[in-house]
Chains A and B, each alone.
Chain A
Amino acid sequence: MAVARSQPAPAPGKKPAMRGSTLFRARARWAWLMLSLPLLFFLVVRLLPTLYAMRMSFYDWKILAETHPWVGLANYVKLFKDPNFLQSLRNTFVYVLVGVPLQLALGLVVALAIQSVNRFQGLYRFLYFLPYVTSSIAVGWVWRWMLQEHGGLVNEVLHVFGIPAQKFLGSPTQAIYCIIMAIVWQGLGFSMVIFLAGLEAVPTSFYEAAALDGASAWARFRYITLPLINPTIVFSGIVGTIRYLQVFSEVYSMSSQGAGGPLGSTKTLVLFIYEEAFKSFKMGYASAATVVLFLIIMLLTLLQSRVITRRVEY
């Protein structure tokens, strides 16, 4: 964010547009004129809807109803007694706690491996990144097909090794991990690219010095690479957490009728919000759930901005 203050100072002898000068005022007028539409957009499409959602969460707001009575905190009280909400909240934490570390670890391993080979680096980067650009709905169905209990490719392969057919997406205990695996598969390449950039910034002289001192590969990783890419790890962790808190389309395509089953075992917070608002049309109630999600994400974003403004120098 240092860029905000990185305006080069005007060269001596040249006259910059001084505050109060005609040019300064003309340029400011032009700026406000050009900004008026975008600012209106941010006001109407982002800011007011946010406040409106907060307001709706205090009302019994159903889209077809004539009146929307004020209910105070009743929606929030109901939320934390609603087994459906609590289950989706718990599931969402499973997505975050299993998915984020897995994606980061695999992304880092692949980045380290790509950095250590000296041929086809670009090709590997391309292949691992590929899933990231594709539609999660489309690839969700591809995984669904491969994970099908009868005749699915994965079970057929397991069969060759003598392992009995698994239910996968049909099992209340396995389904969530199958979906996490698909999300990790899609997001791994993103983490890899971020880590590759982080690794590139580590000066090679550090490794050369360590090699002269006879440090092992593990010691070099543990005492040079890891501390120096720590900011990258924290950044990826927070971005990843926000992403996994918002899982929706993967569950929509990989659970039966997009309902977050079996038995609600894969339902996420966002799927809960979608169902309450657009299937049951309880918009006030769903808004209360979005406020909960908003608070969690805001906390993480603030944490992130503190972390990335405190970048290390080396």
Chain B
Amino acid sequence: MVQHVRVKRLGIALLLLVGSVLTIFPFLWMVSTSLKPAAEIYNLSLIPDAPTLANYGRLFKQAPYFQWFLNSFLVATGTTLSVAFLDSLVGYILAKVEFRGRNLVFFLILSSIMIPTEMLIIPWYVGSVKLGITDSYLGVAFPGLITAFGIFLMRQFMAGLPNDLLDAGRMDGLGEFGLFWRIALPNVRPALAALCIFTFLGNWNAFLWPVIVIDSPAMRTLPVGLALFSYDNFNQYELVMAGAAIAVIPVLIVFAIFQKQIIKGITLTGLK
């Protein structure tokens, strides 16, 4: 009986192992191709015979990849800072400050979750053209500066803070903003970390709105740059894979570092 259970466990572990190798294989193949000289890419070995970084060099010469990387980084960082501050502030107010109309405000914000981005992009574009902010960082970033989802998340966590904690802060002479900044915010740090990572990744990978609002090659974010560059060089897969690796590998590193917070964040937000 014990033997039987052990064999079954081993079988399951083996299947999991095969599945996880298959899951990460595309990433290995991407890196492998990106390190192969053009003549070698149809060679099926995973380890290149003559590994080279030349594709990356050509990539940076042929297209402003560094600029695109920087653009993605700036947009994602700016949006994340804005979301971290504004979503937690609104979440705190909706959870801990009593005022008439609070539930209405919350309902209004929450109901915007069901509006699909696809419906907004056309009016956003028309408005951006009128205001002359297409093809700018502001144009790319403005739709994500505050998120209903983040407010909802932070409100959940702020509501869990004991009121005594805030009262103690008030006794110590903190003002309304001080209560939020010095007491509430530091006490929801895990939730804030999850929100920041999600926002950063979401904006780093964002495609639909950036591809619409960006015109000039110098303003492209990585996914937009990569998509258009790849069409121009679609038969040079060693180059395309190097480009893909530049977009993917930093994210994999961030994920490896923060995986606990990310997975916990999904569990908390997904189920509540």
Contact = CB atoms under 8 A, between A and B. Distances in A.
Interface of A: 3-4, 6-8, 10-11, 14, 17, 19, 24, 26-28, 30-32, 34-35, 37-39, 41-42, 45-50, 52-53, 56, 63, 110, 113-114, 116-120, 124-131, 133-139, 141-143, 145-146, 148, 151, 153, 156, 185, 188-190, 193-194, 196-198, 232, 235, 239, 246, 248-249, 252-253, 257-258, 270, 273-274, 277-278, 283, 286-287, 290-291, 293-294, 297-298, 301-302
A38 B90 contact: yes
A10 B16 contact: no
A39 B151 CA distance: 12
Given A28-B99, A113-B16, A197-B271, A146 B26 contact: yes
B139 to A, nearest CB: 12
Interface in B217-257: 222-223, 226-227, 230-231, 237, 240-241, 243-245, 247-248, 251-252, 254-256
Contacts of A148: 237
Given A137-B227, A142-B26, A42 B270 contact: no
Contact of B244 (A141, A235, A258, A270): A141
Contacts of B61: none
B105 A133 contact: no
A285 to B, nearest CB: 10
Given A135-B223, A151-B42, A194-B270, 14 more contacts: A42-B146, A46-B120, A49-B120, A113-B15, A125-B263, A129-B255, A129-B259, A135-B226, A138-B244, A145-B237, A232-B271, A248-B208, A258-B231, A283-B122
19 contacts: A3-B156, A10-B163, A30-B177, A47-B108, A53-B119, A56-B122, A133-B201, A133-B252, A137-B205, A137-B223, A137-B247, A138-B244, A138-B247, A141-B243, A143-B26, A197-B271, A235-B271, A301-B114, A302-B114
B145 interface: yes
A271 to B, nearest CB: 10
A145 B256 CA distance: 26
Interface string B96-117: 0111101101101100111111
A10 to B, nearest CB: 7
A133 B271 CA distance: 19
B9 A52 contact: no
Contacts of A130: 23-24, 27, 252, 255
Contacts of A252: 207, 211, 227
A30 B211 CA distance: 39
A4 B103 contact: yes
B119 A294 contact: yes
Contacts, number: 264
Contacts of A53: 119-120, 122-123
Contacts of B120: 45-46, 49-50, 53
Contact of A128 (B19, B159, B167, B226): B19
B248 A135 contact: yes
B89 interface: yes
Contacts of A63: 126, 129
A116 B89 contact: no
Contact of B116 (A30, A196, A293): A293
Nearest to B260: A122
Among B95, B142, B201, B266, find the residue whose CB has the most chain A CB atoms closer than 10 A: B266
Contacts of B143: 45
Contacts of B247: 134-135, 137-138
A270 B15 contact: no
A84 to B, nearest CB: 17
B142 A45 contact: yes
Nearest to B204: A135
8 closest residue pairs by CB, A with B: A49-B123, A28-B99, A138-B244, A301-B114, A127-B20, A290-B119, A52-B123, A197-B267
Given A30-B176, A124-B16, A193 B116 contact: no
B125 interface: yes
Contacts of B74: none
Contact of A249 (B103, B223, B243): B223
Among A11, A35, A136, A297, find the residue whose CB has the most chain B CB atoms closer than 10 A: A35
A235 B119 contact: no
B190 interface: no
A124 B108 CA distance: 40
B7 to A, nearest CB: 13
Contact of A138 (B146, B159, B223): B223
Among A53, A277, A291, find the residue whose CB has the most chain B CB atoms closer than 10 A: A53
Contacts of A24: 98-99
B123 to A, nearest CB: 4
B194 interface: no
Contacts of B262: 129, 133
A278 B9 contact: no
